[in-house]
């Protein structure tokens, strides 16, 4: 018998020990008892972190949509699978039952097939948070196509880069999207992107805002009429356990985004298991994760994890500030939400508003509060705990990454005693460790180091699309036979983990993972810019904000600096998206560099965070004089 649902702390420790002692038996039992397979595996796990190669449930045959939809039809056909809450609170919420989801996914799958899409083809999805988005993912999975969702806040350039990197044949988008009181011309962005994407032959367009858009003859097609004519039955493609399910891009320390590849069986088993335990989901609960499906949180914990458990999952189209800053609380009240999962940046923004906006709403349905995406600071934790959970709902500070596919370190509600700012304990199957600068493991408790994982878990990303070497270099080369997360962490006296933040050139801004290199690449395109360096610095609401040091080509030019700042942010918006804009831009005559020409970011970080008492060792600097200039002109 598997321990699918852990109910108390002793049981957690027992299950955890088993998952370390006998990982294959542990996962095999869960896979065996809680999913439907066309054929079971020949081998549970095969792995080698030096290659690296990881295979779970080899030989097994399945389709993930049968696990997320078909198998619930008999007992839960009329249960709401997806509860869609529109941007406009006066527009009716839509309850999509499992039976309706089945029909709509199959229709969409048939439309894709009619467009010539088959198993293994890549499908780019660039949609707002409307039901078609979740349905499009599942439709791809139904026919074995690999979805690549691009968050609909990314710019045309970012979109075309991603489309071309994975050679997508087709793009699914909408005429536009609602965002609070504004509308966004999504189709216009897609049109701009597709100028650079010769491989895309078809663009399917959902109607959402009924705006006037241009449809390119032969390429663009309205989605709805095609769906209306499609059959509601579509035989699922039988997939191998290790067939890719999706690609999702995440930014890294160097220019190009990394297309993380997740495969079918392991991802399904792990997201389902962690959803059940981390949210303590019970059959009639209403679960809401506020993330966008354009990020991994939405893939794993709006779509696949909840649906694999036959849950009701809320999809919210809008923003926390519209029509007012009480919108989240109004939705919890309206739909009697039981589990609520959001990001610290949202909590901090909402904590700044009047408490009346909270107290107007009945939040008594809540049982579990989740937090994800960045460290949650103590103040935000207490505000969330006191005012939203009313001290009754445990806060689940869940640490994970796009690359890990599912939650890795997290309390289990009503099981693990929580401490503010601690992600607490590894989930069953996860073997974290801390490494020091000499690449040695730091044993014992009350220690701090770089967070690595020693042993594979089912939903680890298997490669970077088209670049296995980069996958190896990024995650498996810093430490021998370990997956390196890029985060620092400390382990306290009882073995709880606290994530302290990134130790590489990635900055988490408002919960968004931003590599500084791609932003620097964008800025350097500006004709007046010679060189630039970007670092993060602490920000009240966003967690971190970006600080740019920019060398202009023509020092002493009389160009207006404020205009240049605007132009630089405009370029960033065009290349990446508005989320990557810089809060501060300092023009400088030079950047601190080592003799080998490397920018010493450590110093720039300290100056940006106004922590210049001790700059550390600067003896290897080629141009120490520039440090004083930068400090003198630092922006506060
Ligand atoms: C990075 C991954 C998968 C979640 C969404 C972000 C940071 C994530 C926490 C947390 C402290 C966290 C880490 C991680 N992070 N959750 N609970 N506490 N930091 O996914 O965009 O791939 O970013 O987010 O730095 O490495 P992502």
The H-or-E segment that residue 125 falls in is strand 122-125
Q: For residues 118 and 197, state if they share a domain.
A: yes
- How far is Cα of residue 145 from the mean position of the Cα atoms in its chain? 21
- Say if 86 falls within a structural domain: yes
Do 510 and 453 share a domain, yes or no? no
Tens-digit pLDDT profile for residues 234-281: 999 999 999 999 999 998 767 689 999 999 999 999 999 999 999 999
The residue out of 447, 472, 497 marking a domain boundary is 472
502 CB under 6 A from ligand 1?
yes
In angstroms, the CA 46 to CA 57 distance is 9
Task: Please tell me whether residues 462 and 580 are part of one structural domain.
Answer: no
Over 60: is that where the pLDDT of 556 sits? no
Does residue 2 register a pLDDT over 80? no
Query: Would residue 153 count as lying in a domain?
Result: yes
pLDDT digits (tens, 9 = 90+) for 23-42: 999 999 999 999 999 999 99
Separation CA 336–CA 365 (nearest Å): 5
Q: Which of 267, 369, 501, 513 to mutate to test the pocket of ligand 1 (most atoms within 8 A of CB)?
A: 513
Ligand 1 proximity of 509 Cβ (cutoff 6 Å): no
Among 372, 397, 418, 488, which is best to mutate for testing ligand 1, by the most ligand atoms less than 8 A from CB? Answer: 372
In whole angstroms, give the CA distance from residue 451 to residue 407.
15
In the chain, the number of structural domains is: 2
- The domain that holds 204 is classified in CATH as 3.40.50.12780
Last residue of a domain, one of 423, 452, 472: 472
Look at residue 353 and tell me if it is in a domain: no
Q: Please report whether residue 248 resides in a domain.
A: yes
What number of other Cβ atoms are within 10 A of residue 209's Cβ?
17
Query: Is residue 30 included in any domain, yes or no?
Result: yes
Q: Whose CA is nearest to atom 7 of ligand 1?
A: 374
Backbone dihedral region of 406: left (phi > 0), alpha (psi from -120 to 50 degrees) or beta? beta
Looking at the fold, whether 429 and 528 belong to one and the same domain comes out as no
Ligand 1 center to residue 400 CA distance, Å? 5
Distance CA 373, CA 78 (A): 33
Does ligand 1 come within 6 angstroms of the Cβ of 271? no
> Considering 472, 497, 529, which residue would you say is the last residue of a domain?
472
For 15, the domain range is 9-319+398-472
Instruction: Return the ligand 1 atom nearest residue 398 CA.
Output: 17
In a domain, 108, yes or no: yes
CA atoms within 13 A on the CB side of 120: 2
Residues 468 and 603 in one domain: no
For 97, the 3-state DSSP assignment is: strand
Q: 291, 300, 400, 461: which to mutate for ligand 1, most atoms within 8 A of CB?
A: 400
Give CA–CA dist 610/634, Å, rounded: 8
Selection from 176, 185, 189, 224 nearest residue 204 by Cα: 224
Residues 510, 616 within the same domain: yes
Whether residues 543 and 602 fall in one domain: yes
Q: What is the dihedral of CA 382, 384, 385, 387, to 10 degrees?
A: 100
- Catalogue the E-assigned strands of 328-409: 339-342, 368-372, 395-398
Nearest-angstrom CA–CA distance, 354 and 234: 50
Q: Give the mean pLDDT of 43-58.
A: 98
Tell me: pLDDT of 335 over 70.
yes
Q: What is the pLDDT of residues 271-329, one digit of tens each?
A: 999 999 999 999 999 999 999 999 999 999 999 999 999 999 999 999 999 999 999 99
Same domain membership, residue 513 and residue 466: no
Question: Does residue 424 have its Cβ closer than 6 Å to ligand 1?
Answer: no
For residue 425, what are the CA distances in angstroms to 12, 453, 481? 10, 13, 22
Confidence of residue 158 (pLDDT cuts 50, 70, 90): very high
Residue-wise pLDDT tens digits, 348-388: 999 999 999 999 999 999 999 999 999 999 999 999 999 99
Predicted model pTM: 0.94
Task: Output the CA 45–ligand 1 centroid distance in Å.
Answer: 26
Residues 515 and 465 grouped into a single domain = no
CA of 212 to the centre of ligand 1 (A): 39
300, 395, 499, best to mutate for ligand 1 pocket (most atoms within 8 Å of CB): 499
For residue 237 and ligand 1, the question of a CB distance below 6 A is answered with: no
Q: Are residues 272 and 406 in the same domain?
A: yes
Question: What is the CATH classification number for the domain harbouring 579?
Answer: 3.30.300.30
Pairing of strands 463-464, 258-263: antiparallel
Q: Inform me whether the pLDDT recorded for 43 exceeds 60.
A: yes
Give the nearest ligand 1 atom to 410 CA: 17
Q: What count of residues does the chain have?
A: 636
Q: Do residues 453 and 551 share a domain? A: no
3-class secondary structure per residue, 30-80: HHHHHCCCCECCCEEEEEECCCCEEEEEECCEECHHHHHCHHHHHHHCCCE
For residue 122, pLDDT beyond 60: yes
Q: Does residue 344 have its Cβ closer than 6 Å to ligand 1?
A: no
Task: Specify the pLDDT at position 251.
Answer: 83
Residue nearest to atom 20 of ligand 1 (CA): 401
Decide: 63 in ligand 1 pocket, CB within 6 A.
no
């Amino acid at each position: 018998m598997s321990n699918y649902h852990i109910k108390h702390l002793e049981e957690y420790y027992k299950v955890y020990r088993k998952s370390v002692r006998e990982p294959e038996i542990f996962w095999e039992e869960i896979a065996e008892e809680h999913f439907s397979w066309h054929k079971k595996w020949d081998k549970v796990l095969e792995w080698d972190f030096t290659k690296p190669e990881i295979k779970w449930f080899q030989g097994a045959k399945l389709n993930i949509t049968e696990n997320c939809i078909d198998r619930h039809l008999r007992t839960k056909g009329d249960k709401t699978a997806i509860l869609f809450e529109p941007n406009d609170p006066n527009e009716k919420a839509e309850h999509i039952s499992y039976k309706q989801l089945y029909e709509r996914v199959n229709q969409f799958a048939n439309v894709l097939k009619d467009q010539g899409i088959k198993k293994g083809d890549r499908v780019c999805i660039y949609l707002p948070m409307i039901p078609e988005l979740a349905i499009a993912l599942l439709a791809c999975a139904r026919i074995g196509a690999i979805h690549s969702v691009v968050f609909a806040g990314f710019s045309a350039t970012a979109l075309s880069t991603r489309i071309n990197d994975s050679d997508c044949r087709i793009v699914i988008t909408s005429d536009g999207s609602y965002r609070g009181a504004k509308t966004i011309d999504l189709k216009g962005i897609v049109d701009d992107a597709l100028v650079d994407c010769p491989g895309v032959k078809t663009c399917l367009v959902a109607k959402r805002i009924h705006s006037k858009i241009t449809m390119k003859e032969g390429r663009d097609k309205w989605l709805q009429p095609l769906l209306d004519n499609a059959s509601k039955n579509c035989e699922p493609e039988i997939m191998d356990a290790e067939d890719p399910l999706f690609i999702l891009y995440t930014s890294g320390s160097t220019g190009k985004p990394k297309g993380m590849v997740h495969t079918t069986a392991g991802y399904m088993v792990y997201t389902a298991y962690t959803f059940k335990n981390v949210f303590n989901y019970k059959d009639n609960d209403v679960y809401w994760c506020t993330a966008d499906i354009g990020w991994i949180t939405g893939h794993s914990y709006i779509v696949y994890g909840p649906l694999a458990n036959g849950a009701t999952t809320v999809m919210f189209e809008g923003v926390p500030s519209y029509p007012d800053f009480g919108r989240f609380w109004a939705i919890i009240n309206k739909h009697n939400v039981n589990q609520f999962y959001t990001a610290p940046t949202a909590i901090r923004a909402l904590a700044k508003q009047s408490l009346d906006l909270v107290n107007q709403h009945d939040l008594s349905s809540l049982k579990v509060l989740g937090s994800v995406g960045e460290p949650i600071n103590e103040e935000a934790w207490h505000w969330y705990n006191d005012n939203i959970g009313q001290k009754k709902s445990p806060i689940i500070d869940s640490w994970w990454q796009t690359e890990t596919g599912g939650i890795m370190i997290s309390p289990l509600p009503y099981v693990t005693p929580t401490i503010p700012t601690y992600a607490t304990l590894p989930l069953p199957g996860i073997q974290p460790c801390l490494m020091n600068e000499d690449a040695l493991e730091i044993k014992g408790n009350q220690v701090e180091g770089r967070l690595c994982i020693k042993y594979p878990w089912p939903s680890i990303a298997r490669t970077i699309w088209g670049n296995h070497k980069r996958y190896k270099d990024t995650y498996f080369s810093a430490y021998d036979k370990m997956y390196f997360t890029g985060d620092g962490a400390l382990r306290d006296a009882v073995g709880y983990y606290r994530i302290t933040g990134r130790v590489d050139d990635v900055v988490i801004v408002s919960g968004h993972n931003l590599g500084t290199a791609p932003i620097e690449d964008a800025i350097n395109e500006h004709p007046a810019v010679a060189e630039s360096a970007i670092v993060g610095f602490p920000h009240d609401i966003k967690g971190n904000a970006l600080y740019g040091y920019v060398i202009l080509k023509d020092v002493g030019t009389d160009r207006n600096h404020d205009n240049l700042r605007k132009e630089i942010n405009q370029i960033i918006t065009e290349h990446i998206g508005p989320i990557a804009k810089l809060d501060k831009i300092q023009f400088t005559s030079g950047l601190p560099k080592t003799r080998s020409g490397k920018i010493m970011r450590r110093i720039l970080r300290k100056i940006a965070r106004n922590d210049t008492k001790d700059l550390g060792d600067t003896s290897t600097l080629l141009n120490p004089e520039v440090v004083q200039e930068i400090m003198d002109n630092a922006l506060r």
